């Protein structure tokens, strides 16, 4: 379990829960790293990042209404009463665990300096403590053990209840634990799988689960790429911010709806035709009855659409700027949904020819693939992309491409066998029914939960989650609950040279 | 504006003025035929080095160097790693182990020079990338917010001394606390995690040094007016960042800086609407000669950004020379050409003589395999960029080095230092 730091959304959500902040101060931080995992991680700190943390902490502390922290009245109560209340009630919320005696001593030294040298009153002193604690390691890092000896069980470390509480809450909610979780941790009631299952189920039913589940699907499926996309203005003049937002809203309501409100199954996610739309994306589907920006429930034409991959937004996110770009789509399906490894592209390969040279997109890209490396790499993923040739660069349905009929048929390898499909709707079904996709779905969930790349030792817990997905009726939710109560989630391997005693 | 320091003259160069180093880079390479001169002199005109047209007035203060390779990448079989080779470009190492700006900043600190803005790591639109790295390979995140930069460099000058003293005391006690907190927190962690806490601690120490060096007492020279609109496009941000950098250098608040103008790691969908280029940059750069017309526009825009800084510095008199003469601005790209991504034969332009240390006098040095060639811009040159970096370090009057970066590529460049 490598040491992780709060990501930008985690920071924003956490200070929202602590202070009711709505300014999202972490949006001013330099961006998180998205190259290590498909999910964002917080990079090493340097002076710029650290100074931004200091700015955010100072602004948050300055804005706090100290009378609303549940620590009494700093202006009239005795100083000792206020401080005791702060360290016993609010401090533990910031640190997501009790504040240790040595930490309090260090903080009190700062407090006294502020009172003496800066002439702060008690309220000012509390603000100073908050400013400091928001920059301290206990707040910024996911290590709710603090500087204490871990609990060893054989060669493994069993996580304490506070650590489990935070792991659960940042996994399922993308924010700090609530009072119920912190109380359970205080009573050490997060040590058995049953206790964790009960909490995880409660948490999935809470509206806060939406922010984490949205983030998971957006990063996993690449929905978060859509807002950054720009298209050739001559080819797709309608591809503006309002269309992008409308597309993204459709995808998010689909993923989160299936995962949290629906049957939670990959099958529904990859084959479903019901959609919730606003006018801009509805126009792409040719649905003239959907007007305005109030989302409307519709059923899409099952001969043209089926599942998240066939939706306009997903096709636009990985389409080209002037056309479909089947290779990009194929690569993204192969690595994101099947957890395939894509070899780096070889140097100096000519790009596929422009449409002006004639032929369908598929014909031109197939020529590129055979030029580049016929069997080594493009064979792995090209057909996954060709299956979606019925969708242009912004996901509009088409049967003709560059004056010639579209061919979206082909075959791919799934679960070690060659399977044939006629188009992207059929391929989506095949993917949904494959063990490979299910195992990848579980692995992606586990990677998101742990914030690290997976190891062999995690496989038992992941297979348990796959089994739980298959045995009950809540799909994704069963998978999450199973993984959250698994051994991988509750234990960790000691780090090299970690002090264990 | 008054000169900051009293200067004496020696041998035509100002003595007593500080030397300054700026590294600048952008992604996707250049279009060779529109960049490199045919001969050994820089000629900027309608049929020669058009990309450099914004710098035409300063060609006599420039030095182009052809034939330099990011050799450590090539030797690690990364000949075509143009999009991901920033770690090596100014460090001469595979993993970005101490770039020249960081090394010079550390060298100046070791000589006792300390300023709040001594070392600026800046960017316009770097998309999380940087050309600046600490020893050990940690990336220095570029500052891209002009207002945050302004606050760091200039705002303390407008504060009354007692207000500034209060702010400094507050920040200092906070940094003291954070240092102790991190040390206690990191004490039990394993080796890899301790590296993260060490980086955090180092950043606290860096901020402490910046804090100690910040002084009030009124402006010694004019800070630029940068307005307050926070919603800005790339060209506006670029203009503000280069203005602030120029002012920080003129005011001697900064001695070394890196500027990552633009880099997208070769991702799709990067565009230049303000140049009326609506194409995707990556495929456009890959298009080779077919994309030159538009790509030259983009490359020229990059040098236009640099030219604004050059003009600013050259307009600031320091004795009988200018701030430009006492500086050297080193501009490069991560690849030779966007078509092949090759990290050999990289474009390098130096502007300013670094206080007379560098013979920047309108020449185009063609090194290694490029020597004597008229147009050979697509191939390797055979000379490691490390040699230039070592010469730059020596030009900055740091303890003389015989090499820079990876030890396999020791050596300095002949014909660069005056």
Q: Which residues of B touch A149 (CB under 8 A)?
A: 188
Q: Which band of pLDDT confidence, cut at 50, 70 and 90, is reported for residue B223?
A: confident
Please compute the mean of the pLDDT values over residues A417-441 and round it to a whole number: 97
Contact partners, residue A381, CB within 8 Å, separation at least 6: A327, A330, A331, A333, A334, A335, A340, A342
Q: Which residues of B touch A497 (CB under 8 A)?
A: 190-191, 194
| Lowest-confidence segment of A341-345, A410-414, B53-57, B93-97 by average pLDDT | A341-345
| Domain range for A125 | 8-140
Nearest-Cα residue of chain B relative to residue A134: B178
Extents of the domains making up chain B: 8-153+234-409, 155-218
Per-residue pLDDT of A101-158, as tens digits, reads: 999 999 999 999 999 999 999 999 999 999 999 999 999 999 999 888 999 999 999 9
Please compute the mean of the pLDDT values over residues B224-233 and round it to a whole number: 81
Q: What share of chain A is helix, strand, coil (3-state, %, to 5)?
A: 55, 5, 40
Q: Which band of pLDDT confidence, cut at 50, 70 and 90, is reported for residue B334?
A: very high
Per-residue pLDDT of A370-405, as tens digits, reads: 665 555 677 788 899 999 999 999 999 999 999 999
The pLDDT of residue B125 is above 90: yes
Please tell me which of the candidates B190, B200, B203 has its beta carbon nearest to residue A496: B190
Please compute the mean of the pLDDT values over residues B307-312 and round it to a whole number: 98
Q: Which of B325, B173, B69, B193 is CA-nearest to residue A494? A: B193
B interface test, pick of A1, A6, A8, A45 with most B CB neighbours within 10 Å: A45
The pLDDT of residue A489 is above 50: yes
Per-residue pLDDT of A43-79, as tens digits, reads: 999 999 999 999 999 999 999 999 999 999 999 999 9
* Alpha carbons A281 and A278: distance in angstroms, whole number: 6
Place of tokens 């990289």: B346
CA-based radius of gyration for chain B: 21
Q: Are residues A295 and A171 in the same domain?
A: no
The pLDDT of residue A183 is above 90: yes
Overall domain count for chain A: 3
Backbone φ, ψ for residue B321 (5° rounding): -115, -165
Q: Which residues of B touch A47 (CB under 8 A)?
A: 140, 203, 206-207, 210
The secondary structure of A61-90 as a DSSP string is HHH--GGGSSS--TTTS-HHHHHHHIIIII
Contact between B102 and B132 under an 8 Å Cβ cutoff? The reply is yes
Q: Are residues A427 and A446 in the same domain?
A: no
A interface test, pick of B109, B167, B170 with most A CB neighbours within 10 Å: B170
Q: Which pLDDT score is estimated for B3?
A: 36
Nearest-Cα residue of chain B relative to residue A128: B174
Q: Are residues A168 and A313 in the same domain?
A: no
Nearest-Cα residue of chain B relative to residue A31: B128
Please compute the mean of the pLDDT values over residues A273-292 and round it to a whole number: 95
Q: Which band of pLDDT confidence, cut at 50, 70 and 90, is reported for residue A3?
A: very high
Please compute the mean of the pLDDT values over residues A266-282 and round it to a whole number: 97
Q: Which residues of A touch B148 (CB under 8 A)?
A: 52, 55
Q: Which of B103, B25, B22 is CA-nearest to residue B393? A: B103
CA max distance for chain B: 65
**In the structure encoding, which two tokens stand for residue A357, read together?**
């040279």
Please tell me which of the candidates B173, B271, B341 has its beta carbon nearest to residue A230: B271
Residues B303, B308, B311, CA angle at the centre, nearest 5°? 115
Please compute the mean of the pLDDT values over residues A200-224 and round it to a whole number: 97
The pLDDT of residue B16 is above 90: no
**In the structure encoding, which two tokens stand for residue B200, read together?**
């955090």
* Alpha carbons A487 and A458: distance in angstroms, whole number: 8
Contact between B272 and B291 under an 8 Å Cβ cutoff? The reply is no
Q: Which pLDDT score is estimated for B13?
A: 44
Task: Look at strands A296-299 and A274-277 and give their pairing.
Answer: antiparallel
Q: Which band of pLDDT confidence, cut at 50, 70 and 90, is reported for residue B220?
A: low
Q: Which pLDDT score is estimated for B5?
A: 37
Tell me the percentage of chain B whose pLDDT exceeds 70. Answer: 94
Are A135 and B178 inside 8 Å of each other by CB?
yes
Q: Which residues of B touch A40 (CB under 8 A)?
A: none
Please compute the mean of the pLDDT values over residues A283-311 and round it to a whole number: 96
Write down how long chain B is: 418
Q: Which pLDDT score is estimated for A350?
A: 60
Per-residue pLDDT of B71-80, as tens digits, reads: 999 999 888 8
Q: Are residues A353 and A444 in the same domain?
A: no
Please compute the mean of the pLDDT values over residues B264-293 and round it to a whole number: 86
Place of tokens 């045995």: A471
Are A46 and B203 inside 8 Å of each other by CB?
yes
Please tell me which of the candidates B139, B178, B283 has its beta carbon nearest to residue A351: B283
* Alpha carbons B257 and B259: distance in angstroms, whole number: 7
Q: Are residues A386 and A466 in the same domain?
A: no
Q: Which band of pLDDT confidence, cut at 50, 70 and 90, is reported for residue B4?
A: very low
Are B188 and A48 inside 8 Å of each other by CB?
no
The pLDDT of residue B217 is above 60: no
Q: Which pLDDT score is estimated for B22?
A: 98
Q: Are residues A444 and A403 in the same domain?
A: no
Q: Which pLDDT score is estimated for B221?
A: 72
Place of tokens 């710029």: A48
Nearest-Cα residue of chain A relative to residue B141: A48
The secondary structure of B19-32 as a DSSP string is PEEEEEEESSB--G
Q: Are residues A199 and A339 in the same domain?
A: no
In a domain, A1, yes or no: no
Q: Which pLDDT score is estimated for B376?
A: 62
**In the structure encoding, which two tokens stand for residue A282, read together?**
């509805």
Residues 44-63 of A with CB under 8 A from B: 44-52, 54-55
Identify the architecture of domain B8-153+234-409 in CATH. Answer: 3-Layer(aba) Sandwich (3.40)
Please compute the mean of the pLDDT values over residues B70-94 and round it to a whole number: 92
Q: Are residues A277 and A294 in the same domain?
A: yes
Backbone φ, ψ for residue A382 (5° rounding): -55, -45
Q: Which residues of A touch B186 (CB under 8 A)?
A: 137
In a domain, A70, yes or no: yes
Q: Choose the final residue of a domain: A432, A467, A482.
A: A432
- What ipTM was estimated for this complex? 0.92
The pLDDT of residue B81 is above 90: no
Q: What share of chain B is helix, strand, coil (3-state, %, to 5)?
A: 40, 15, 45
Q: Are residues A365 and A489 in the same domain?
A: no
Contact between A183 and A149 under an 8 Å Cβ cutoff? The reply is no
- 3-state SS assignment for residue B120: strand
The pLDDT of residue B2 is above 90: no
Q: Are residues A121 and A70 in the same domain?
A: yes
Tell me the percentage of chain A whose pLDDT exceeds 90. Answer: 85
Are A48 and B180 inside 8 Å of each other by CB?
no
Q: Which residues of B touch A351 (CB under 8 A)?
A: 283, 286-287
Rounded to the nearest 10°, the torsion over CA A314, A318, A319, A321 is 120
Q: Are residues A251 and A397 in the same domain?
A: yes
The pLDDT of residue A301 is above 90: yes
Per-residue pLDDT of A463-485, as tens digits, reads: 999 999 988 789 999 999 999 99
CA distance A381 to chain B (A): 19
* Alpha carbons A47 and B118: distance in angstroms, whole number: 13
Are B339 and A348 inside 8 Å of each other by CB?
yes
CA distance B128 to chain A (A): 7
Q: Which of B344, B315, B314, B316 is CA-nearest to residue B328? A: B314
Count CB pairs under 8 A between chains A and B: 154
Nearest-Cα residue of chain A relative to residue B203: A47
The pLDDT of residue B216 is above 80: no
Q: Are residues A135 and A263 in the same domain?
A: no
Q: Choose the final residue of a domain: A117, A140, A163.
A: A140
* Alpha carbons B104 and B88: distance in angstroms, whole number: 16
């Amino acid at each position: 379990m490598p040491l992780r730091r709060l990501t930008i959304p985690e920071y924003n959500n956490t200070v929202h829960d602590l202070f009711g902040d709505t300014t999202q101060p972490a949006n001013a931080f330099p961006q998180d790293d998205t190259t290590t995992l498909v999910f964002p991680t917080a990079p090493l700190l340097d002076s710029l990042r650290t100074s931004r943390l200091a700015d955010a902490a100072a602004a948050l502390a300055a804005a706090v209404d100290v009378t609303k922290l549940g620590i009494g009245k700093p202006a009239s109560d005795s100083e000792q009463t206020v401080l005791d209340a702060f360290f016993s009630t609010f401090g533990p919320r910031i640190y997501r665990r009790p504040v240790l005696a040595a930490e309090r001593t260090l903080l009190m030294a700062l407090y006294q300096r502020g009172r003496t040298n800066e002439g702060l009153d008690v309220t000012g002193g509390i603000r100073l403590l908050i400013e400091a604690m928001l920059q301290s390691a206990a707040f910024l890092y996911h290590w709710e053990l603090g500087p204490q000896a871990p609990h060893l069980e054989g060669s493994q470390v069993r996580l304490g209840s506070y650590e489990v509480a935070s792991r659960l809450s940042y996994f399922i909610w993308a924010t700090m634990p609530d009072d119920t979780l912190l109380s359970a941790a205080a009573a050490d009631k997060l040590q058995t799988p049953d206790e964790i299952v009960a909490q995880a189920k409660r948490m999935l039913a809470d509206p806060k689960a939406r922010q984490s589940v949205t983030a998971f699907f957006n990063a996993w499926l690449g929905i978060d790429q859509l807002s950054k996309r720009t298209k050739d203005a001559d080819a797709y003049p309608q591809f503006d911010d309002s269309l992008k937002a409308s597309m993204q809203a459709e995808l998010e309501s689909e993923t989160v709806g299936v995962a949290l409100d629906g049957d939670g199954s990959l099958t529904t996610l990859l084959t479903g035709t019901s959609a919730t739309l606003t006018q801009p994306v509805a126009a792409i589907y040719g649905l003239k009855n959907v007007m305005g920006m109030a989302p409307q429930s519709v059923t899409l034409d099952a001969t043209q659409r089926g599942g998240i991959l066939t939706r306009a937004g997903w096709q636009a996110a990985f389409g080209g700027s002037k056309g479909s770009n089947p290779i990009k789509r194929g690569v993204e399906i192969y690595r994101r949904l099947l957890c395939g490894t894509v070899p780096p592209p070889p140097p100096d390969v000519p790009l596929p020819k422009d449409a002006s040279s004639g032929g369908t997109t598929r014909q031109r890209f197939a020529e590129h693939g055979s030029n580049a490396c016929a069997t080594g790499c493009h064979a792995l993923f090209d057909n996954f992309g060709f299956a979606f040739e019925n969708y242009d660069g912004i996901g509009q349905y088409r049967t003709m491409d560059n004056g010639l009929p579209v061919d979206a048929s082909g075959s791919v390898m799934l679960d070690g066998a060659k399977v044939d499909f006629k188009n992207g709707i059929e391929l989506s079904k095949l993917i949904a029914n494959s063990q490979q996709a299910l195992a990848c779905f579980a692995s992606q969930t586990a990677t998101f939960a742990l914030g690290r790349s997976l190891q062999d030792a995690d496989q038992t817990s992941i297979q348990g989650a796959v089994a739980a997905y298959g045995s009950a009726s809540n799909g994704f939710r069963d998978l999450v609950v199973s993984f959250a109560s698994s051994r991988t989630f509750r234990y960790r391997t000691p780090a090299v040279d970690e002090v264990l005693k | 504006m008054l000169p900051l320091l009293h200067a004496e003259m020696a041998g035509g160069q100002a003595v007593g003025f500080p030397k300054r180093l700026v590294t600048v880079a952008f992604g996707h390479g250049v279009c060779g035929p529109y960049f490199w001169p045919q001969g050994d002199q820089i000629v900027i005109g309608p049929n020669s080095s058009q990309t450099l047209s914004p710098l035409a007035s300063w060609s006599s203060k420039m030095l182009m160097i052809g034939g330099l390779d990011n050799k450590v990448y090539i030797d690690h079989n990364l000949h075509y790693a143009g999009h991901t080779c920033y770690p090596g470009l100014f460090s001469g190492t595979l993993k970005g182990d101490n770039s020249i700006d960081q090394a010079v900043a550390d060298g100046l600190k070791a000589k006792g020079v300390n300023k709040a803005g001594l070392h600026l790591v800046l960017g316009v639109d770097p998309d999380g990338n940087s050309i600046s790295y600490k020893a050990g390979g940690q990336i220095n995140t570029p500052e891209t917010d002009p207002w945050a930069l302004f606050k760091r460099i200039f705002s303390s000058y407008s504060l009354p001394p007692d207000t500034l003293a209060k702010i400094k005391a507050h920040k200092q006690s906070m940094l003291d606390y954070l240092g102790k907190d991190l040390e206690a927190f990191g004490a039990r962690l394993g080796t890899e995690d301790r590296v993260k806490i060490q980086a955090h601690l180092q950043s606290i120490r860096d901020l402490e040094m910046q804090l100690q060096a910040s002084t009030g007492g009124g402006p010694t020279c004019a800070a630029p007016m940068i307005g307050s609109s926070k919603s800005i496009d790339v060209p506006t941000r670029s203009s503000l960042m280069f203005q602030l950098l120029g002012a920080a250098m003129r005011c001697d608040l900064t001695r070394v800086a890196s500027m990552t103008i633009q880099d997208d790691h070769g991702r799709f969908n990067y565009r230049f609407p303000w140049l009326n280029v609506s194409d995707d940059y990556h495929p456009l750069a890959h298009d080779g000669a077919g994309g030159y017309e538009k790509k030259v526009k983009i490359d020229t825009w990059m040098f236009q950004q640099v030219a604004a800084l050059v003009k600013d510095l050259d307009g600031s008199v320091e004795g009988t020379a200018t701030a430009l003469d006492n500086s050297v601005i080193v501009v490069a790209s991560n690849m030779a050409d966007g078509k092949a991504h090759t990290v050999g034969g990289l474009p390098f332009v130096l502007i300013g003589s670094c206080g007379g240390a560098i013979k920047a006098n309108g020449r185009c040095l063609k090194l290694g395999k490029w020597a004597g060639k008229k147009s050979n811009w697509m191939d390797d040159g055979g000379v490691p960029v490390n040699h230039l970096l070592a010469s730059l370090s020596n030009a900055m009057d740091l303890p003389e080095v015989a090499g820079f970066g990876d030890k396999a590529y020791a050596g300095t460049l002949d014909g660069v230092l005056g």
